[in-house]
């Protein structure tokens, strides 16, 4: 089984976020980048298939040279090889077109993407790839088993979970549950050394339009100061909840 894991290069959630150019561009100065958490769950599940069923695992990313440390980390975790599509990921459709081309040319059986990335939270790329290629697609996937070309998967739905049967080739939008957080892999020294010699192919993008453009970013309003109320002054607490917070 050939598995392709789509990797997004996203800011660490602890990074301080700022914008430049009249709040129209993200300021990358001082920002640390990591593997998108939803993608990391998918990568770990792919490595499980590699160890248990002899699958080969390729990772792919749309981005410039600055994303290569993130790809090398994924290689150190256990992926066999990497592909970097040399383009700025301008919008979801553009990214989906680039990934679809790699999938079409690579003959992959299972494509694992995160259900969304933690930077723009678009949640559109896996479904768009499916639409372009006509592959089966499952979103919000929390468990998957493969027997030959037959697949059983569990996905989250409103109010519960749904178990489905389908077949390869398949695209999933994965999330926490594909593996638990305690099972996520941390690169060890051997993995880091081995990653240096693994193939990282750079391919040029295909022509595709960017259908959306970020015009302006706006930070959430800062939290207001906390007001402390004496436990003996319930009348003041009720007054604040009723007239200021307006929750009662």
Do you find a cis peptide bond into 169, omega within 30 degrees of 0? yes
With b for 16 or more beta-carbon neighbours within 10 A and e for fewer, the 133-152 pattern comes to bebbbbbbbbebebeeeebe
193-204, pLDDT tens digit by residue? Answer: 999 999 999 999
Q: Is 19 exposed, middle or buried (0-12, 13-18, 19+ CB in 10 A)?
A: middle
pLDDT score, position 208: 94
Helix/strand/coil for 64: coil
For 142-182, write each residue's pLDDT tens digit. 999 999 999 999 999 999 999 999 999 999 999 999 999 99
CB neighbours (10 Å) of residue 176? 15
Hey, what's the torsion of the CAs at 53, 55, 60, 66, to 10 degrees? 80
pLDDT along the chain (248 residues), means of 10: 97 90 91 95 97 98 97 97 96 96 97 94 95 97 97 95 97 96 93 95 95 89 85 89 87
Distance of CA 244 to the CA centre of its chain: 39
Domain ranges of the chain: 2-219
SS3 content of the chain, % helix, strand, coil (to 5): 30, 30, 40
**Which residues are 200's β-sheet partners?**
82
How many Å apart are CA 129 and CA 86, to the nearest integer? 18
Of the options 3.20.20.60, 3.20.20.70, 3.40.50.620, 1.10.600.10, the CATH number for the domain spanning 2-219:
3.40.50.620
Position 248 scores a pLDDT of: 86
Q: What is the DSSP secondary structure assignment for residue 204, as one 8-state letter?
A: P
Please tell me the predicted confidence (pLDDT) of residue 220. Answer: 85
At residue 227, the pLDDT reads 85
Global confidence as pTM: 0.88
Distance CA 145, CA 152 (A): 5
Nearest alpha-carbon partner for 104 in 129, 137, 85:
129
Question: Among all chains, which residue has been given the structure tokens 């920002």?
Answer: 31
Q: Report pLDDT for 137.
A: 98
Query: How many whole angstroms separate alpha carbon 40 and alpha carbon 44?
Result: 6
Whole-angstrom CA distances from 176 to 39, 49, 118 are 9, 17, 13
pLDDT attached to residue 13: 86
Q: What is the pLDDT at residue 214?
A: 86
């Amino acid at each position: 089984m050939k598995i392709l894991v789509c990797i997004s290069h996203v800011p660490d959630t602890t990074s301080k976020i700022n914008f430049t150019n009249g709040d129209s561009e993200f300021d990358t100065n001082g920002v640390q980048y990591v593997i998108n958490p939803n993608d990391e769950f998918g990568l770990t599940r792919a490595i499980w298939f590699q160890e248990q069923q002899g699958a080969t695992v390729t990772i792919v990313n749309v981005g410039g040279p600055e994303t290569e440390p993130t790809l090398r980390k994924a290689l150190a975790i256990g992926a066999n090889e990497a592909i970097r599509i040399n383009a700025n990921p301008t919008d979801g459709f553009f990214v989906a077109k680039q990934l679809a081309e790699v999938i079409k040319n690579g003959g992959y059986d299972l494509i694992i993407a995160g259900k969304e990335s933690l930077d723009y939270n678009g949640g559109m790329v896996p479904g768009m790839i499916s639409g372009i290629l006509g592959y089966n697609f499952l979103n919000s996937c929390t468990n998957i088993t493969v027997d030959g070309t037959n697949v059983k998967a569990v996905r989250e739905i409103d109010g519960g979970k749904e178990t489905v049967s389908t077949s390869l080739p398949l695209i999933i939008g994965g999330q926490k549950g594909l593996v638990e957080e305690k099972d996520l892999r941390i690169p060890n020294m051997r993995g880091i050394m081995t990653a240096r010699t693994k193939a990282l192919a750079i391919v040029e993008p295909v022509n595709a339009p960017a259908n959306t453009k970020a015009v302006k970013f706006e930070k959430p309003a800062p939290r207001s100061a906390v007001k402390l109320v004496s436990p003996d002054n319930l009348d003041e607490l009720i007054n604040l909840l009723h007239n200021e917070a307006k929750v009662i």
